[in-house]
Amino acid sequence: MPPRPALTDDAPPDRPNRAYFRANEGRWTSPFRFVITDSAAFFRSPMGFLDRIRALSMAWLPRLLGPLVLETSVDSRSRGDQGIVIHTTRLRKFGITLYEAIETFTLHDNGQDVAIERVQRLAPAFSYSREVGESRAEVDPSATRAVYQFPFMGSPMRQVATVEGDGVRIHQETAWSRADAFLHRLA
């Protein structure tokens, strides 16, 4: 997808991408379920040894110790006049962060597209790294659903986030995995 111009100050505030993130402002949490759906595809994928251990841990750790906890935050206000949304994601167990990402979403004038820049870190190596590959999202015209594309441990991942009542259902898929969560807003 060729780069598109960012949202300008004269863009109407009611664009679906702005409305979607404005409605989802705040902090969210959910139990997180991650499964490896295709072992052969998992072992064929181009990820490194440490990422394989991380993926296996995400799938097996909850079976032994209970579900992982997904925490997210959406800040569409602090830089909203620039068309920027700051999004954080944390995956935790027993208060220990296993995965963390800080994402800058740049909203486009067309009202649907979002460019994503992500800095992330994963246990046990806790230094931040920039992802390799393009990340983007598209918000549907109803401003209740966003489809994301981003790299995940060397594989393309598709994530669908759908507003349902007072929560947001998250579904992620790669060629070898699936993850699900239903986010509830924290007070």
Domain count, the chain: 1
pLDDT at 16 over 50: yes
Model confidence over 17-67: pLDDT tens digits? Answer: 999 999 999 999 999 999 999 999 999 999 888 888 888 988 998 999 999
pLDDT at 126 over 80: no
Angle value at C-alpha 170, between 122 and 52, nearest 5 degrees: 30
Instruction: Tell me which residue range forms the domain holding 24.
Output: 16-185
**Is residue 164 within 8 Å of 173, Cβ to Cβ?**
no
In angstroms, the Cα distances linking 107 to 65, 96, 128, 159 are: 39, 32, 24, 18
pLDDT at 173 over 90: yes
Angle value at C-alpha 34, between 85 and 129, nearest 5 degrees: 45
- Residue 4 pLDDT level (bands cut at 50, 70, 90): very low
User: Is 11 inside any structural domain?
Assistant: no
Q: What's the full length of the chain, in residues? A: 187
pLDDT at 3 over 50: no
Do you find a cis peptide bond into 31, omega within 30 degrees of 0? no
User: Is 4 inside any structural domain?
Assistant: no
CATH number for position 148: 2.40.128.20
User: Is 10 inside any structural domain?
Assistant: no
Model confidence over 151-161: pLDDT tens digits? Answer: 888 899 999 99
Of the chain, the percentage scoring pLDDT greater than 70 comes to 88
pLDDT at 2 over 70: no
Write the single-letter amino acid at 112.
Q
pLDDT at 6 over 60: no
User: Is 7 inside any structural domain?
Assistant: no
User: Is 6 inside any structural domain?
Assistant: no
Distance in angstroms (rounded) separating the CA atoms of residues 129 and 120: 5
- pLDDT value, residue 143: 95
Q: What are phi and psi of 53, to 5 degrees?
A: -65, -40
Reduced to 3 DSSP states, what percent helix, strand and coil does the chain have, rounded to the nearest 5?
20, 50, 30
User: Is 55 inside any structural domain?
Assistant: yes
- pLDDT value, residue 7: 45
User: Is 5 inside any structural domain?
Assistant: no
Residue 121 in tokens = 């870190």
User: Is 151 inside any structural domain?
Assistant: yes
